[in-house]
Copies of this chain bind each other. A is one copy, B any other.
Amino acid sequence: MEKENVIAAGAIPVAEDGNLISANKKLGGVVTIIGTGLIGGSFALVLKDKGLAQRVIGVDKNIEHQKKALELGIVDEILPIEEAIAKSKLIVLAVPVDALDKILPVVLDQVQDQVVMDMGSTKENVIALVAKHPKRRRFVASHPMWGTEYSGPEAAVKNAFTNKAAVICDSEHSDPDALELVKNLYKQTGMHLIYMDAAAHDLHAAYISHISHITSFALANTVLEKEKEEDAIFELASAGFESTVRLAKSNAAMWVPIFKQNRENVLDVLNEHISQLRKFKSCLEKENYEYLEELIEHANGIRKILK
């Protein structure tokens, strides 16, 4: 066992300014990142940048991603999953949530005292899936609240997580040392931590992330359907349009499983959203501009929340 592994993460001294005291760098020890794309790649980059990992091993079923992750310095080596797990102190799963369901139990089957964390966008499903696993307590369920519409190792960004929130779910079902390691790593990457149960996470995620993707996909399809003059879109599209539609570039392989796993919450929000849009439609149909103004002024209430 490597030296860093025997330091209890919870005991790691952290300087006043929140930085690790240098003698205690390499907090994460040898880290395996399963899925070296946008999220896993970004996490690997910040671990390396801040000296939080002694070495980063990549596991990825996509050969092109393996090559790219090595080439971009995201990982130090690529290994088969069993070998990578055996050599690591921490295993990070950063794969689409359907793949997560398949890989997490396999990983837990192989761990001794390693820590396993995921970064998936839905939490109820995966947590239920491993609830009875004998190694459940080595697992910390988390979701860093960051992403872009791009994917793959090239999309990874070193400072992705700075000042963003990381949600940790159902933390009482994780061993204290495992939890401390994950908490410390997130803090060291510049994130602040939020704790909630998996059901609350999935509900909130439907509102502040999943519905935005659906509206953006639907808006792209609206424009692509009706606006045949692509040159006109290209020339005229202003920052406002780009802002509301950019998430429509997001990957189906990532998003279909999220919508599937968070189906009920997403349907609930989507129904509400369609009914809100119908109010706008009705105002225009009936030329009720007073109510249209009210609807807009109500929407302006979002200013209180998003500065």
Contacts and interface: CB of A to CB of B under 8 A. Distances in A.
Given A252-B300, A289-B260, A300-B248, A208 B223 contact: yes
B220 A299 contact: yes
B271 A274 contact: no
A67 interface: no
A22 interface: no
Given A217-B299, A247-B244, A296-B255, A208 B238 contact: yes
Contacts of A218: 273, 276-277, 279-280, 299
Interface in A201-260: 204-205, 207-209, 211-227, 229-230, 232-252, 255-256, 259-260
Given A227-B207, A270-B277, A276-B221, A293 B252 contact: yes
A21 to B, nearest CB: 29
Interface string A147-163: 11100000000000000
Interface residues of A, number: 94
A166 B219 CA distance: 24
Contacts of A17: none
A263 interface: yes
A64 interface: no
A305 interface: yes
A201 B105 CA distance: 56
B214 A238 contact: no
A172 interface: no
11 contacts: A145-B237, A209-B240, A215-B277, A218-B273, A218-B279, A220-B299, A243-B247, A248-B299, A248-B300, A249-B303, A274-B281
Given A221-B276, A225-B276, A246-B306, 4 more contacts: A218-B277, A250-B296, A252-B293, A260-B289
User: What are the 5 A-B residue pairs with the smallest beta carbon separation, nearest first?
Assistant: A220-B299, A217-B299, A252-B296, A220-B302, A218-B276
